[in-house]
Structure 1
């Protein structure tokens, strides 16, 4: 199966994003549909992965940034039936290496997929990093 990646926000299928994030994302199922819609609308950059034959969205990544030197990567997923086609790597390459933030300091929070993110330069934080945990679930 062929896939294409696109960073056009107008192409994002909000129902697909909401469907996965509200049921399968261990990191943010507490968010409402209005929350997800607001995050999509205010994102600095979004990247979608789509079936080339149907245009169906099968993967997603979102970033928040100051647009100058810092970006936060969030909500990365590939639908289970489309895994195994290197779409996670392609999403990360399109978002980070091929995008306007390729030289930024990037951060993310994840409980899994460390091997994927390490391929794109992510590592455990050093002594300069501090985090205030969420109070929302």
Structure 2
């Protein structure tokens, strides 16, 4: 558990509030509204690592990030969010820092997709992929 002002960040998967994750991802996130709740639950359950941000006064989960990894050299950062009422206090930056710099993947090659948070991730060394990186877009609905 890492204190951060009125919040704390924790990578204990048993603390994750699946209702809060589903609520945000199904209504506010632009990146995965196609998923059904069972998909989100399976993604969280099978994640290599999850980090939740919690209001210390109420215990309510107000931020979340998950990672998929081979556990050796590579990780993919996904589903990063901070609920609107907890934004503007640096919690998103701290959430990403804890996920990628304060855990077992600190030396890994990290990847992610984002449409609107390039500035946030650039602070942590993310940038355009190098020539060794290729991607096959999702084939959903096939």
1:30–1:136 Cα contact (<8 Å) kept: no
How far 1:136 sits from its partner (Å)? 2.1
CA RMSD of aligned residues (A): 1.0
Tell me the alpha carbon deviations over residues 59-115 of structure 1, each in whole angstroms, 9 at most, x when there is no partner: 000000000000000000000111011011110111011010000000000001101
Q: What is the aligned partner in structure 2 of residue 87 from structure 1?
A: 91
Q: What is the aligned partner in structure 2 of residue 67 from structure 1?
A: 71
Q: What is the aligned partner in structure 1 of residue 61 from structure 2?
A: 57
Q: What is the aligned partner in structure 2 of residue 17 from structure 1?
A: 21
How far 1:128 sits from its partner (Å)? 1.1
SS at match of 1:124: coil
How far 1:135 sits from its partner (Å)? 2.0
Greater relative contact order: 1 or 2 (C-alpha under 8 angstroms, separation 6 or more)? 1
**TM-score between the two structures when normalised by the length of structure 1:** 0.97
Q: What is the aligned partner in structure 2 of residue 131 from structure 1?
A: 135
Q: Which runs of 4+ in 1 moved over 3 A?
A: none
Q: What is the aligned partner in structure 2 of residue 30 from structure 1?
A: 34
Q: What is the aligned partner in structure 2 of residue 109 from structure 1?
A: 113
**TM-score between the two structures when normalised by the length of structure 2:** 0.94
